[in-house]
Amino acid sequence: MARRNSNSKRKLLIASLFIIILMAFIYNSKIFEREPPQILSDEVIYWNLKKPLSIKISDASGIKRVLIQLGDGENNITLFNEKHNSDEKELEFNITFPKKGFYNRQNEYRLSYEVVDHSFWNFFMGNKIIKESVIIADRQDPLIHVAANSYKITKGGAGVVIFKTEDANLKETYVQTAFGKKFKAVPFGKEGYYISLVVWPRAQKNFGGAEIVAIDLAGNMAHEKIKYYFQDKNYKSSKIQLTNTFLDGSITSLARDIANDETQGMSSLEKFVFINNVLRKESLEAIEKVSDSMDYTQYFALKPFYPLKNSAVVAGYGDFRIYEYNKEKVSESYHLGLDLASTAEAEIVSSNRGKVVFAGENGIYGKMLVIYHGLGIYSLYAHCSKLLVQEGDEVMAGQTIAKTGKTGFAFGDHLHFGIVIHGIEVRPEEWMDEKWMRDNLFEVINSANDLINSENNSAKW
């Protein structure tokens, strides 16, 4: 009796062990996976009903059945009802809007998905997912109206444009130039209005044109040309002969100061080329990084810049310099600021209030300050001997901010003064000229404001 009892106990133990192992196998096996299929689609989809909508479905055990339907609240139209093999683990469905089947034009539809996988889970029925997306139908292209723009843009200089973009589901609006640069636009006063500063970079031979672009969430797009007059300008071009005295003296010590490690083992001519090409590019990139903001405040005011009292211009903006050694061209560069000189270590003044966004060393620019004044306009002060403000400081109009010097790629005490817009150094002369600023900026802003006000008044009546 006792022996029999222990025998059946053992059988029971083996049987239950077997069941536990089998269950563990089923539980961990791929063919019994318990994850429902994944549907890559947003809860709300903006659709212009023209471009096919792409929906991606995936599953580890393969997709068995897909049902996709579109409904308008009354009717449901089946777009896909398909069976698939277990090796189809990823499927893409391109949904086109049905030409027939809906009686009325709606602004909202519902896209529903029912997908089952090849898993043996759920008593061989597989895992099922039911999901729905709300479709917002948007058939309208955005509308763009130019409210006002500066009459011209000069090579190296800037212009402004104020425009209205209307769309129920606007995604983005900006200015696009023919040479491939996008200029940010930011809200201007009244809702729907935007302002942007547009720049013709000095090194860009032709401007080619600019247009306002608006894109909505459904992918509808609109373009509107800005009627600028593009004024070409002849800048000074000069050839500079590099002498051994200069290369072995000034350049060698400059390389030691600002690029000691990188220029080890180079000849003094190679050091010059490295400074003028590689370091210049790095310095310009550092400037671009800190000066790409854009905003608009209703009470924006800006006075002409006059950074250095009783100074003389020693080099102009936009000068093109070709460097030669033994009559052979070795390097070239554009001079992108205005060089002003007075006495050594002269006081530099910020003519406008602003916020210091950079204060420190910047390669060939030496000790440098960059100050943001609003509306995407930055002023830049380079080769300083001493900086009197720090990053993050607010400066007042008329405040002394630095002292001139010859740090960086400079061989005499002077100020390299720059104006930077959208990361690009532009003609400072424009921002030092009251008449230019009035004609090209303030009057454009005023005429846009007049238009907005007349719109407001007519709306009241």
Q: Single out the segment in contact with Zn ion by CB under 5 A; choices: 175-183, 252-260, 329-337, 422-430.
A: 329-337
Q: Which residues contact 169 (CB under 8 A, 6 or more apart)?
A: 46, 136, 138, 216, 217, 218
The one among 64, 155, 373, 416 contacting Zn ion by CB under 5 A: 416
**Nearest distance in Å: CB 416, Zn ion:** 3
The size of the interface with Zn ion (CB under 5 A), counted in residues, is: 3
**Nearest distance in Å: CB 303, Zn ion:** 23
Q: Single out the segment in contact with Zn ion by CB under 5 A; choices: 122-130, 211-219, 335-343, 393-401.
A: 335-343
| CA–CA distance, 190 with 32 (Å, rounded to integer) | 59
Q: Which is closer to Zn ion, CB of 200 or CB of 317? A: 317
Secondary structure of 289-307 as H, E, C letters: HHCCCCCCCCCCCCCCCCC
Q: Are 143 and 165 in contact (CB under 8 A)?
A: yes
Residue 434's H or E segment, with its range, is helix 434-437
**Nearest distance in Å: CB 385, Zn ion:** 15
**Nearest distance in Å: CB 339, Zn ion:** 4
The one among 307, 337, 405, 428 contacting Zn ion by CB under 5 A: 337
The one among 72, 167, 339, 413 contacting Zn ion by CB under 5 A: 339
**Nearest distance in Å: CB 174, Zn ion:** 31
Q: Which is closer to Zn ion, CB of 159 or CB of 337? A: 337
Q: Which is closer to Zn ion, CB of 62 or CB of 337? A: 337
| CA–CA distance, 96 with 98 (Å, rounded to integer) | 6
Q: Which is closer to Zn ion, CB of 339 or CB of 429? A: 339
Query: Which residues between 359 and 398 bind Zn ion (CB under 5 A)?
Result: none
- Output the CA–CA distances (angstroms, integers) from residue 237 to 131, 332, 417, 434, in the order listed: 66, 10, 20, 28
**Nearest distance in Å: CB 401, Zn ion:** 17
**Nearest distance in Å: CB 380, Zn ion:** 10
Q: Which is closer to Zn ion, CB of 224 or CB of 339? A: 339
Q: Is 429 in the site for Zn ion (CB under 5 A)?
A: no
Secondary structure of 105-136 as H, E, C letters: CCCEEEEEEEEEECCCCCCCCCCEEEEEEEEE
Q: Are 210 and 228 in contact (CB under 8 A)?
A: yes
**DSSP assignment letter at 137:** E
Q: Single out the segment in contact with Zn ion by CB under 5 A; choices: 200-208, 247-255, 278-286, 338-346.
A: 338-346
Q: Which residues contact 322 (CB under 8 A, 6 or more apart)?
A: 237, 238, 239, 240, 329, 331, 332
**Nearest distance in Å: CB 262, Zn ion:** 22
Q: Which is closer to Zn ion, CB of 57 or CB of 364? A: 364
Residue 160's H or E segment, with its range, is strand 158-166
Angle at Cα 199 formed by Cα 445 and Cα 399, nearest 5°? 70
Q: Which residue is nearest to Zn ion (CB)?
A: 416
Q: Which is closer to Zn ion, CB of 64 or CB of 416? A: 416
Residue 230's H or E segment, with its range, is strand 229-231
Q: Single out the segment in contact with Zn ion by CB under 5 A; choices: 6-14, 222-230, 334-342, 361-369.
A: 334-342
Secondary structure of 246-282 as H, E, C letters: HHHHHHHHHHHHHCCCCCCCCCHHHHHHHHHHHHHHH
Binding site for Zn ion (CB under 5 A): 337, 339, 416
